Chains A and B, each alone.
Chain A
Amino acid sequence: MKKLIVSLLIAVVVLGAVFAQGGKEAKKSEIKVALIVSSTIDDKGWCQAMHDGIVQAMAELPKGKIAEYKAVENTQPSDTLTAIRTYVNQGFNIIIVHGSQFRAQVEDAAKEFPDVMFAFGTTSDVIAPNVFSYMPESEETGFLSGIIAGMTTKVNHVGLVGPIDGGDSARYNRGFVLGVQSVNPKAKIDVVHIGNFNDTVKSGEFAQNLIQAGCDVLTGSSQQALGALRAVAEYRDRDIWWVGQDLAQLDLAEGYKCIAASSYNYKAVLIGLVEAFDQGKLGGEVIPMNFSNGGFEWGWNTAKCADKITPAIKKAVEDKLAEFKKTAGLVSNWSSVDYSKL
């Protein structure tokens, strides 16, 4: 009896392994996309932009082209490798690790799983043959925001609440400085960093400080900026305004303070990744994102802030936007901005 049970168990295990392998082979051509983010996919900022891009790409690609999409939120760098391994074991073959803080984990995972395509941002470095890096050239969006701030301020004093001085935020922030200086060289620009990407409370505290110091136009990058926008909205009856880094901010309750906003368009990035996957290319390239290649979008808040969008401001921004759409890399001097000399 004992031998019979053991034989049956062995048979079940062997058959299970055979069928499991067969199943895997049958589904090899399927594309399954996983997203790993540090915040949430509805944060009205950095993470939501990527999530929305994936959803839009799925709608645009032939039905079923992406067989499955999953996202894991609130991920710390220490948890990232575990999340990646879990997804790989579940058969996900395009894994997007969205945030510059995850670089070391992506480098390790790329070596561990050479047959899986990874996408990682933000960096302009080529990381591995199976990693596509994406780098939003956010100095362009920052520059446009800076033009608005520089032309809107009545006291020649504007402020910026940044997360950390790195990644695309560093580019946006420095682009903002250059944009302000291009239209209002006399303007004083206060730049502060809260030290992380998610603390909206601290972001609000910094914004309150900037407003008390006299800034009348503020901007901010990454998802933490929502706290700063909320602080601006506290001054309902005062001439204090905001320029956003995500179009979703225009629709918020605080949107009446947001003159305009830019946004990342990750749909094009994802469609590019799927096409590369179909061609058997898993990475080894950097995908730049700019206005020229459709990586950014721009929107005015004509519904709520029409009186702040003067013809002069609109013309200055639209002219620069047309230049950006025509030629990429026009704000290549962004890295020369030194905050200590402002």
Chain B
Amino acid sequence: MGAILVNTLTFTVRFSVALLIASMGEMFNQKAGIFNLGCEGIMSMGAFLGMLIPFSVGGAGAVPGYVNILGLVVGALCGALMGLLFGLVVVTFRAPQGIAGIGMQMFGVGLAGTFFRSFIGGQQSITGIESVAIPGLSKIPVLGDILFSHNPVVYFAYLLVPLAWFVIYKTPWGMKVRAVGTFPLAADSLGIKVNRIRYQSLAVGGAMAGFAGAFLTLCQAKQFSAGIINGRGFIAVALVYFGQWHPVKILMGAILFTFAESLQRQVQMFGQAFPYEFLAMLPYILVIVVLAFNRKSNKFGPAALGKPFNREMRV
């Protein structure tokens, strides 16, 4: 039983990373008043580029470490560009964010699939970034396996949580982001350039979504396939609501969701006479139940979330 729990927790830490990074990025978007349903599409392009860079250099064989890191960086850069493109549509042209987000999702998934066919040609894999057991710490009973035997990017992702908290709550830029997401007219009257801050937030959020996609191909799946993101972008958006727009609570949400996923895998392996379809639904049901019962969520949400800013209008 102990081994099962250790395995469940180990996989929870490892497999929550893509969701964690993407939802942390989406938090920046939403804090600035924009919700980006296109996260799924941006993750898809990040995933494709995360695969393309090392595959172009070394095929399925090993490549120098910096090539893999370059894959993560290029995935993030592409995400930032897509975030800016989304900004052009919803900030400058003030298109409805929900519809534009769905469009961005379809655009990203379709583009990634098309490029994959053109540049790689079919199902291939890469060596990717290997897990590293931290000397000494990985030998600690129980905790060593759960916390200190992961891919280096896993640790980086967890460090993003305090970093995001610091940026949002302790820096002037973070304050501006919260201001334009809460009361953009007031922020504008104080000289804050609302649209510029929203563009910057979308670039940061997009970069993190692209990075999360690249993480999936470089660190977890080690391959790309059409539809590899498979709804994880939407879960990332839901986790921001789940975590009430706070980095630490979003982290808890990502861990809880992934723990439920890991747990259902373990339950299936017990071979009990229990419908696996229901088990597969459990993590999603959990998100819905928590959102439904967490009535205070709206109080924590950015007041201007989803509302385009027009300085000529008074509302």
- CB-based contact A194/B271 at 8 Å: no
Task: Tell me the A residues contacting B by CB distance below 8 Å.
Answer: 39-40, 42-44, 73-74, 164-165, 190-196, 198-202, 204-206, 208-210, 212-213, 223, 226-227, 230, 233-234, 252-254, 338-342
Closest residue on chain A to residue B8 by CB atoms: A209
Closest residue on chain A to residue B270 by CB atoms: A190
A247 to chain B, nearest CB (A): 14
Return chain A residues, CB-CB under 8 Å to B228. Answer: 199-201
Q: 30 A-B Cβ contacts within 8 A?
A: A39-B226, A40-B122, A42-B121, A165-B276, A190-B271, A192-B269, A195-B276, A199-B230, A200-B223, A201-B216, A201-B220, A201-B228, A201-B232, A205-B11, A205-B265, A209-B266, A210-B269, A212-B11, A213-B4, A213-B7, A226-B123, A226-B223, A226-B225, A227-B221, A230-B221, A230-B222, A233-B125, A252-B124, A253-B59, A341-B271
A193 to B272, CA, bound (A): 13
Return chain A residues, CB-CB under 8 Å to B15. Answer: 205
Report the tally of A-B residue pairs with Cβ distances under 8 A: 111
- CB-based contact A209/B225 at 8 Å: no
A69 to B140, CA, bound (A): 60
Return chain B residues, CB-CB under 8 Å to A165. Answer: 276
The 10 closest A-B pairs by CB, nearest first: A253-B60, A42-B122, A340-B273, A195-B280, A192-B268, A44-B123, A199-B230, A193-B276, A209-B265, A212-B7
Give a binary string over B41-57; 1 marks a CB under 8 Å from any A CB, 0 the rest.
00000000000000000
A195 to B230, CA, bound (A): 12
Give a binary string over B189-232; 1 marks a CB under 8 Å from any A CB, 0 the rest.
00000000000000000000000000010001111011110101
A340 to B269, CA, bound (A): 10
Closest residue on chain A to residue B220 by CB atoms: A201
A253 and B265 contact, Cβ closer than 8 Å, known pairs A40-B226, A199-B230, A339-B271: no
Return chain B residues, CB-CB under 8 Å to A341. Answer: 271
A256 to chain B, nearest CB (A): 11
- CB-based contact A198/B266 at 8 Å: no
The residue from A192, A201, A230 contacting B230, defined by CB atoms under 8 A apart:
A201
Give a binary string over B287-303; 1 marks a CB under 8 Å from any A CB, 0 the rest.
00000000000000000
Return chain B residues, CB-CB under 8 Å to A198. Answer: 225-227, 230
